[in-house]
Amino acid sequence: MPLSAVILAAGKGKRMRSSLPKVMHTLAGKTLLAHVYDTANLLSCDDIYIVYGHEGDQLRAAHGAFNAHWVRQERQLGTGHAVLQAIDSITASHHVIVLYGDVPLITVHTLTTLVEQAADTGFSLLTAHLDDPAGYGRIVRDDAGNILRIVEERDANEPEKRLREINTGMMVVRVGMLKKWLGMLTDDNAQQEYLLTDIVGHAVSEGVGVNTVQPASVMEIKGVNDRVQLAELERHYQLVQARQLMSQGVTLADPARFDLRGALEAGEDVFIDINVVIEGEVSIGNQVSIGPNCVIRDTRIGDGANILANCVIDNADIGARNRIGPFARIRPGSSLDEDVHIGNFVEIKQSEIGKSSKANHLSYIGDSEVGERVNVGAGTITCNYDGVEKHKTIIGNDVFIGSNTEIIAPLKINDGATIAAGATISRDVESGALSMSKRETKVVKDWPRGRKKKGSE
Ligand code: UD1
Ligand code: MG
């Protein structure tokens, strides 16, 4: 059935106490609005309308990749008024699905059922049964169980308030009927707003049956009004993702202390320790172990790699059987071949490191090409920046670099060269050569070292 989605996102979200529009707050690294937009796309909606109010420029700029119609609602006069802003643009043969920019966890599965249920009468509504229905519109039914109307909490009497079936707000309506009923709305209610929910009463009085559907989980229909609710939905979503990964064969040391803000593809027998954050698109091979407190973003990690505690890896390619960390930082554009060891307090930026090469301690390797079986000693620094431009360091195969070496780029150290400890290298080094900087050790005998005065620290 041809479908247009209308996503309501004009509310200011006062209770967030934020300078950002509410729907720009993120859940699992993605804005609330993007969650709903992506779900509408999975549902194969032909057109997506987003009704916005506040900070429209900011909202549109943050979602530049959306293929959506942005519709401004000048003043927030109610949910019915919001849908009305888009209705004239929607193709007459479509059904309209109403979604909410601040209800991010609705699933395509539930919405598919909702769409199917609108096929016969042209009207379906997503409702839910809650133990505590406070704050929601209640579904009023007749003795036969047919829907009569929705009553908002503020307009409800005591028996109505005791009803547990609530309106989630999500619905599918044939566009012609929706347009007619929206035109009939008044603001004659406690909130003095044009309430979308009032169209249910109009449908019933015209003999149009309203079919109802329930979500698989009530978390799907929960909205975000404040930061407490945002955190609740985040934790729920993370747990769902964690369970999915575990069912696919990933061991999580603690599913409650794992965060995935993006997509993770993982092989067999992957172990992920506590407090690991995965962002963007990450793929991990078989038998990989990730230690505690690692942040890994947009990265591929090869089979058998061992990422030790407290590493930050961003936009990198980590080869099979690498050993990284603890406390290593691999920055964007870095590519490490197989069996590479990168140790503590080593930073690698925009560099290629060849097979079986090692930089085990306290080094900076930037804008470099490092060959195979190279040993980079502790405290080696590629001086890649002259204050204006970045320069490249090329290091051949089987090079040995002694500790505390400065390599002033651009230059090339050819295969098999040896650099003595403490050297400052500022020109190319021939293959097989030894290069050193002359720094003699001077000894002053019987040196009278200063003494602290009595009583001082
Ligand atoms: C609405 C429903 C209520 C339902 C509840 C579910 C109506 C009249 N009531 O109530 O039955 O139980 O949602 O959460 O629909 N919005 C706009 N423009 C407006 C007003 C609202 O875009 O002029 C957007 C808001 O940003 C929000 C959504 O519509 O995303 C719902 O509005 P809200 O004011 O929260 O409606 P509720 O009173 O919660
Ligand atoms: Mg609400």
Tell me which ligand sits closest to the C-alpha of residue 222.
Answer: 1
Q: Is the pLDDT of residue 456 over 80?
A: no
Indicate yes or no: pTM above 0.85.
yes
pLDDT digits (tens, 9 = 90+) for 214-260: 999 999 999 999 999 999 999 999 999 999 999 999 999 999 999 99
Ligand 1 atom nearest 223 alpha carbon: 14
pLDDT digits (tens, 9 = 90+) for 72-127: 999 999 999 999 999 999 999 999 999 999 999 999 999 999 999 999 999 999 99
Q: Is the pLDDT of residue 453 over 90?
A: no
pLDDT at 271: 98
**CB 299, CB 319: distance < 8 Å:** no
pLDDT at 443: 94
What is the average per-residue pLDDT within 429-441? Answer: 93
pLDDT at 307: 99
pLDDT at 457: 62
Mutation choice for ligand 1 from 79, 132, 187, CB with most ligand atoms inside 8 A? 79
CA of 329 to the centre of ligand 2 (A): 43
List residues near ligand 1 (CB under 6 A).
8-11, 51, 73, 76-79, 81-82, 100-102, 136-137, 150, 152, 166-169, 195-197, 223
Mean pLDDT of the chain: 97
Q: Report percent pLDDT > 70 for the chain.
A: 100
Count Cβ neighbours within 10 Å for each residue of 157-189 and write b for 16 or more, e otherwise.
eeebeebebbbbbbbbbbbebbbebbeebeeeb
pLDDT digits (tens, 9 = 90+) for 279-319: 999 999 999 999 999 999 999 999 999 999 999 999 999 99
pLDDT at 150: 97
35 is catalytic: no
